[in-house]
Amino acid sequence: MANKKDVGPSTPKRHNRFVRYWINLGARIKGWFVDKWTAIKDFFGGFRNRNPKQVEADLVLNDGPQLTRGEKFRRGMKAQSGWLFVAPALILMLVFTFWPILAAFINAFKQNYNSLSGTYEGIGFENFVRVIRGDTGTGGASFNQCLVNTLLFTIISVPLSTLLALIISVALNSIKALQKAYQTILFLPYLTNSLAMGAVFATFFTIIGTEKNIETVGLVNNVLQGLGLAPVEWIKASSPVWNLGAIKIPWAKYIVVIVYEVWSGLPFKILILFSAMQSINKQYYDAAKVDGASRNTILWRITAPMVSPQISYLLVTGIMGGMKQYTAIVGIFGEQMGTNYDMGTVVGYIYRYVDNGQYGYAFAGSILLFLIIMVITWINNKVTKKHTTYR
């Protein structure tokens, strides 16, 4: 504790209260530094000549509190040293993750929030109501349209790519020659930038030229023409659309996105499933062979259940990732995300309102997305827990 200087009876001159206060304070501050200095000196000195047995003996004899200042400091530091290692990550997460989440939650309820001045015109659910009603005063696809887009992309592409990955992994697992080479090739898309892949996909599907003078119909349409079908406008504004009242489904564009998502999701899924399959004991397959199981039976009754923990992991993370899809859409359809944002995803919607400064809607949208992902993941866990075998 602070070495309180005795300014009482032994001092001949008695100061007034004001001066006494400052002397006292100064003494306490000095005492604090002296104390820490003693602790540090003891601490380092302690390292040099600390005899562990002697320390233990002191501890028993003196009943703990009589330890040297340095020993106490050292023990305290040791007990709490975990924090020291966590601190760098923790500080960064507090600043860049937890604070923004908290801020988004708070600001989502501020009406007409001005990010520069920090002013707002009331607190309530108005942002949410306007976002859900599509009453945000700007053009482009509504939140609901974006949500439908996102959900459909996810619900179709994630199970499809997981299924394909399962089948490809089984095939990969059953070949011996060039297995490593195929594995490497299949993993390559994972290392490719998603914007670059989007651009490549766009060229596969885009018709270049004017209506009267088409230069090329794109790779996919070439194939369709080869099969005797009419070329489809996959990317541009004239692309075919189903109108369902407030919601529009530009199905041709959907196909482009889903093909892209399935393809780009494959490598990681194959990696996970393939390595899981390699760790399955070969005797199960020998037993199945003796018991006359067909390839189909082996896949669906042995391999798939054995990798079911990995499948459920891929479905859960795939759906979470799918709900946050954004870059691929920009890569394929450009910054406008199709025609007037008609291919927009929920994250795309949020970015749009960050861009034009209407932060309130962006915050509300992100809170809604958070809630939706939370609910989906909860359902997911309930369902997969029931159907997953853990070895």
> Which residues in this chain contact another protein in the complex, by CB under 8 A?
281, 283-284, 286-294, 297, 301-302, 305-306, 308, 389, 391
Nearest-angstrom CA–CA distance, 226 and 231? 10
Beta bridge partner(s), residue 214: 209
Which of 6, 291 has the CB closer to another protein?
291
> CB 305 → another protein: shortest distance, Å?
4
Which of 156, 306 has the CB closer to another protein?
306
Which of 20, 289 has the CB closer to another protein?
289
> CB 306 → another protein: shortest distance, Å?
7
Which of 115, 294 has the CB closer to another protein?
294
> CB 295 → another protein: shortest distance, Å?
12
Which of 55, 288 has the CB closer to another protein?
288
> CB 177 → another protein: shortest distance, Å?
16
Q: Torsions phi, psi of 214, nearest 5?
A: -80, 125
377, burial (CB in 10 Å: exposed 0-12, middle 13-18, buried 19+): middle
Instruction: Please say whether the beta carbons of 261 and 325 come within 8 A.
Output: yes
Residues 6+ apart with CB under 8 A from 240: 232, 233, 250, 251, 252
Which of 11, 297 has the CB closer to another protein?
297
Nearest-angstrom CA–CA distance, 234 and 254? 9
> CB 262 → another protein: shortest distance, Å?
27
Widest pairwise Cα distance in the chain:
113
Instruction: Please say whether the beta carbons of 274 and 184 come within 8 A.
Output: no
Q: For residue 115, which of 334, 355, 374 has the smallest C-alpha distance?
A: 355
> CB 174 → another protein: shortest distance, Å?
16
